[in-house]
Chain A
């Protein structure tokens, strides 16, 4: 028998709505939900079935037998694995306190359950991958508007001019925004693309600037300079909502286009021409505020400059610009409830491991924490010893810069627990593995997608698990029960969780049957941008001089500092992604591995010739942190100061045979540097040397 099940993809964190055709207990076909995506699906989405069939994924619970990372495992029952984990966790807590346990995860639909678990054991140390993607974007938004970046989105469909900084939009697949921008482009919208190399996005652009690596901020200061000097901004919006404009005007005074030309390599007259051109389309203008572009330890300044450019264009709460996401309340519904809001669930007052909310990182978002601090917290026992790490669908060893440093830190832990679907680097280095069912084999908590039309999506189970695996919410509950905190997980099955989340909304599970989602508003909800913007800063204004920053001892306009040029014979390492892989999680997928089996090192042709490197030749790339072997890709289309590689390769887990030892690992080369104001890692703050190999 054949049936269609509406669900949500999880091949990447975008979580596109899908329609899954199931026949005889197996998945026959997956397509994008026709009501949302007209059937469209990306390569990763279609390769979901290859993941389902893959026998190299985690298939049953395991406890380590040999040394860490040796690959000797004992297959155990769920009971044994859970008992072992609960016992060891309790031992760590008894000896070192609950704060010695850290729980890290890729933000997911069940994050409210993981957070409930941590609060129930009494530890403040839950963190997500989020800060490693965009910690500084989050902080920048809060400093200017009082909202996090996750509460804001971009209306590509109605935009007239979109500007990307290193954001390789068309190869970082988010299906709905891509369809929206393609539609706008057909109606004449323009794209300006600024990057240190050429990409598919550059190919689709109307203007391309190859910028000197690390100088995106200088370009923005010059743009703001021109826009203010020539009165190219949306006066009505700016006069009504901006505070601190006078001080900011004085700050950018010296940042002329001529000054920026020297920094960026972009001709001054082009900067001026661009500012004039784009201002004609205001407010239907988007300066894409993240991710990527220059990732340095002053990223907060870059992200703020991007958001300020949007503000100057008046493209806030405007059609074709940025908008604040609206939730159930805005649509006249009751609240969507997470389990963390249970009455009596303990609040934890202990300082966090990463120093967020304390003097170390006073303005970063404690809802996500700052994961890049983890290795230092463990190694230096600052602010206290960390003894156990749980990682859920998250590979800290390969995602936090400096793989070797991460390993040294993990060596100090008494307990490493991994919940995952694949043999990640962290899973391979763990003491116990609790294997999760893949998204096609499980249901999850509902997804509340706040938007112009707030919508709730449902991930339904399509087929029974192929192997001895469980969903995360069941694993956490089973662990909690064994640790005497089971009462905070008041559910038996997924429907209990759904009913809990929906209890105040007047929406029933059956309502999801027809399309896989429930929309809370027929019309776009936009606030009155002239009179009622509902900004959440202290002053209620768009704060160029930020109370959040200044009150915590940070300047809103710190002096511009030029990034160092690489020393002779070195290059700035830059990283990014391609259309067919998700971070570190798909490299071993048979179909996706076939398309992009390894990464290559982009290097400028003239530089390559200096070092005697030819296209396709193996080179050794090394930094103070580590080294790797990788094929050179010699091209005119990368800035001579930079080299570039895809993230997520150079894998060291022999059990993942398809991607084992293919390409080089950017994580092994990168230095762990954090923007101590914003919270993002300085992913581009590493210099590497490149040497041809002769074999």
Chain B
């Protein structure tokens, strides 16, 4: 794993897909490759709320990357100084071995170049002291980039704020259970029910 971590705080995500466009725009990608994706799972009813989960999927920059091992030309590489996994365009021959190898579908196909393109945490920006494009412009700032410990930092800070504001029993990830809800009724069903009651 690279020494960085890109943490997606899904409790604050609104699935606006802005991160996907920020990324594509920064890299001037054509239609087709999407280097990060927000995958929506659900909704399903949890405490009478139709909850959705939003899963952010960039490249995970693995410690022992399948894609690097699979690449026959050395195009797919792990950067020595910080472990960012990236491709060298000059060396890529478009064989797609990395696309087959990656368990998470991170390497993407670029039709315009006939080569693979993948998330490199915007390493040119990182080298300039900036954040990746998706993190910089995230609408709710639910994307965080830094050391892996930032996950616990973000969660602890939020929990502390919620506790301070409304007491120990409420946090964002655990909505207060409301009273039991019946299924929505149509007007017809409601009338039938009323008749039944009256009878």
Q: Using a CB–CB distance below 8 Å, which chain A residues touch chain B? A: 29-32, 38-43, 45-47, 49-50, 170-171, 173, 175, 178-179, 182, 185-188, 198, 200, 202-208, 210-212, 261-263, 265, 267, 269-270, 273, 562, 565, 579-580, 590-595, 637, 639-641
Contact = CB atoms under 8 A, between A and B. Distances in A.
A43 B31 contact: no
17 contacts: A43-B20, A49-B25, A178-B139, A187-B165, A188-B166, A198-B43, A198-B50, A202-B43, A203-B51, A203-B52, A205-B49, A206-B175, A207-B48, A261-B190, A269-B179, A565-B188, A595-B20
A579 B191 contact: no
Contact of A262 (B24, B52, B194): B194
B31 A40 contact: no
Nearest to B165: A188
B141 A640 contact: no
Contacts of A562: 187
A41 B186 contact: no
Contacts of B52: 200, 203
B176 to A, nearest CB: 7
Contact of B170 (A188, A580, A637): A188
A267 B182 contact: yes
A209 to B, nearest CB: 8
B199 interface: no
A592 to B, nearest CB: 8
B42 A203 contact: yes
Interface string B126-141: 0000000000111111
Given A46-B18, A173-B139, A186 B162 contact: yes
A31 B25 CA distance: 11
A29 B26 contact: yes
Interface string B33-50: 010000000110000111
Contact size class for B? 35 or more
Contacts of A263: 187
Given A185-B172, A187-B161, A198-B43, A565 B187 contact: yes
A637 B43 contact: yes
Given A43-B21, A261-B190, A591-B25, A208 B50 contact: yes
Nearest to B18: A43
Contacts of A212: 184-187
B43 A203 contact: yes
Nearest to B139: A40
Contacts of A178: 14, 139-140
Given A186-B161, A267-B182, A591-B24, A173 B172 contact: no
Contact of A175 (B25, B42, B43, B139): B139
Interface in B1-23: 12, 14-18, 20-22
B103 interface: no
A226 to B, nearest CB: 15
A171 B51 CA distance: 15
Given A46-B137, A273-B179, A579-B14, A206 B22 contact: no
B16 A42 contact: yes
Contacts of B31: 590-591, 593-594
Contact of B186 (A42, A188, A208, A640): A640
Interface string B151-190: 0000000100110011000101001101101101111101
B194 A42 contact: no
A270 B182 CA distance: 10
Contact of B22 (A46, A175, A261): A46
A206 B137 contact: no
A206 B179 contact: no
Interface of B: 12, 14-18, 20-22, 24-26, 31-32, 34, 42-43, 48-52, 136-141, 158, 161-162, 165-166, 170, 172, 175-176, 178-179, 181-182, 184-188, 190-191, 194
Given A182-B12, A592-B21, 5 more contacts: A42-B139, A46-B18, A175-B139, A188-B165, A202-B43
A269 B175 CA distance: 20
Chain A CB within 10 A, most for which of B16, B175, B179: B16
A274 to B, nearest CB: 9
A179 B161 contact: no
A47 B21 contact: yes
Contacts of B175: 206
Nearest to A182: B140
Chain B CB within 10 A, most for which of A45, A170, A187, A188: A188
Nearest to B26: A29
A350 to B, nearest CB: 46
A43 B17 contact: yes
Nearest to A32: B137
A205 B49 CA distance: 7
A374 to B, nearest CB: 33
Contacts of B51: 203
B137 A41 contact: yes
B50 A203 contact: yes
A270 B140 contact: no
Nearest to A262: B190
A206 B179 CA distance: 12
B135 to A, nearest CB: 9
Given A29-B26, A186-B161, A595-B20, A204 B140 contact: no
- A-B residue pairs, 8 tightest by C-beta: A188-B166, A188-B165, A198-B50, A579-B16, A170-B14, A43-B21, A203-B52, A43-B18
A179 B12 CA distance: 10
A219 B176 CA distance: 23
A221 B24 CA distance: 48
Contacts of B136: 31, 39
Contacts of A269: 179
Given A29-B26, A203-B49, A179 B16 contact: no
Contacts of A594: 31-32, 34
Nearest to B15: A200
B191 A262 contact: yes
Nearest to A267: B182
A38 B138 CA distance: 9
B186 A47 contact: no
Nearest to B51: A203
B186 A265 contact: yes
A540 to B, nearest CB: 37
B198 to A, nearest CB: 13
A640 B187 CA distance: 11
B50 A637 contact: yes
A320 B42 CA distance: 32
